[in-house]
Amino acid sequence: MRNQGRLTGKVAFITGAARGIGRAQAVRFAQEGAAIIAVDLCGPMDTVVVPPSTQADLQDTANLVNSTGGRIRTTVADVRDVDGLRDAVAGGVEEFGGLDVVCATAGITSRAPLAEMSEATWQTMLDVNLTGVFHTCKVAVPHLIERGGGAVVLISSIAGQRGLVGVGHYTAAKHGVVGLMRGLAHDLAAHGVRVNSVLPTNVDTPLIQNDAVRAGFRPDLERPPTRAEFAAAARPMNLLDVPWVDPIDVANASLFLASDEARYITAVALPVDAGNSQR
């Protein structure tokens, strides 16, 4: 990817950076000159169906950033733990000299019809995918204000603007992220901080490429669907002829919103959804 220095001299705080979209953001932003403060839980959570990321994954992200010539500081922390997040950001700000960009990307999925869902499944979803985003913003905003401005990018989902079967808790959390974005954009405009969200369709990451999520797309099969069978079921969700987009597509949209090219764009919910919202 061509480096145009779109984030030269900037520092970006990214949650969920061990793999998937968070890793793509870290590497893409580093290519454009940003120093990266990377956070990930790197471990399992109750009720979550996605295989957990590991500290080796987070180290791989660090290696990829370093290979671009970029700088990165990694911390294992849980977005549900506001004190741990605050320490992670403070350490990065001390090392890199400030903070300009925030990407709240950490997220989980699990699956059940809403009326049959356990309290624990509901609560963990809201704690990570909504309150975790609030925590991320809460600990970062004072540093952005101190810097005199900045950009916040919250990763929502197509489920931030429409319903989907079997993930009502995820849908509620992702709608909440869009609301949080709009409220924060109003609160922070006077400080020169822009706040936007990105709403991806399916993205080719471990969040969806696992037996549990694939099975939700192919309830007709009695065994775990293959990648190709999953793709066949996912493709008709989108207007464009793709079953999913890649992490780099979400990272590039995030980069645009984080860069000065978007200097007068705030309070926007930007779909990166291959036309899913028109279906």
Ligand X SMILES: NC(=O)c1ccc[n+]([C@@H]2O[C@H](COP(=O)([O-])OP(=O)(O)OC[C@H]3O[C@@H](n4cnc5c(N)ncnc54)[C@H](O)[C@@H]3O)[C@@H](O)[C@H]2O)c1
48/267 with CB nearer ligand X: 48
Supply φ then ψ for residue 19, to 5 degrees: -165, -175
With contact defined as beta carbons under 8 Å apart, do 243 and 230 qualify?
A: yes
In the complex, what is the shortest distance from the CB of residue 60 to ligand X, in angstroms, rounded to a whole number?
11
33/81 with CB nearer ligand X: 81
Contacts of 94 (CB under 8 A, 6+ apart): none
In the complex, what is the shortest distance from the CB of residue 124 to ligand X, in angstroms, rounded to a whole number?
9
Integer Cα distance of 199 and 257 in angstroms: 13
In the complex, what is the shortest distance from the CB of residue 238 to ligand X, in angstroms, rounded to a whole number?
12
Distances (CA, A) of 43 to 1, 40, 104, 247: 30, 9, 18, 21
With contact defined as beta carbons under 8 Å apart, do 160 and 127 qualify?
A: no
Distances (CA, A) of 123 to 77, 110, 132, 173: 19, 11, 12, 10
113 Rama sector, left if φ>0, alpha if ψ -120 to 50, beta otherwise: beta
The residues assigned a catalytic role are: 170
* DSSP per-residue string spanning 180-235: HHHHHHHHHGGGTEEEEEEEES-BSSTTTSSHHHHHHH-TT-SSPPPHHHHHHHHG
Integer Cα distance of 185 and 163 in angstroms: 24
In the complex, what is the shortest distance from the CB of residue 54 to ligand X, in angstroms, rounded to a whole number?
9
56/190 with CB nearer ligand X: 56
In the complex, what is the shortest distance from the CB of residue 135 to ligand X, in angstroms, rounded to a whole number?
9
The residue with tokens 């066949």 is: 232
21/147 with CB nearer ligand X: 21
Contacts of 240 (CB under 8 A, 6+ apart): 274, 275
16/150 with CB nearer ligand X: 16
| Tokens describing residue 38 | 């990377």
Contact residues for ligand X, defined by CB under 6 A? 15-16, 18-22, 40-42, 50, 52-53, 78-80, 105-108, 128, 132, 155, 157, 200, 202-203, 205-208
In the complex, what is the shortest distance from the CB of residue 202 to ligand X, in angstroms, rounded to a whole number?
4
18/147 with CB nearer ligand X: 18
Integer Cα distance of 170 and 199 in angstroms: 13
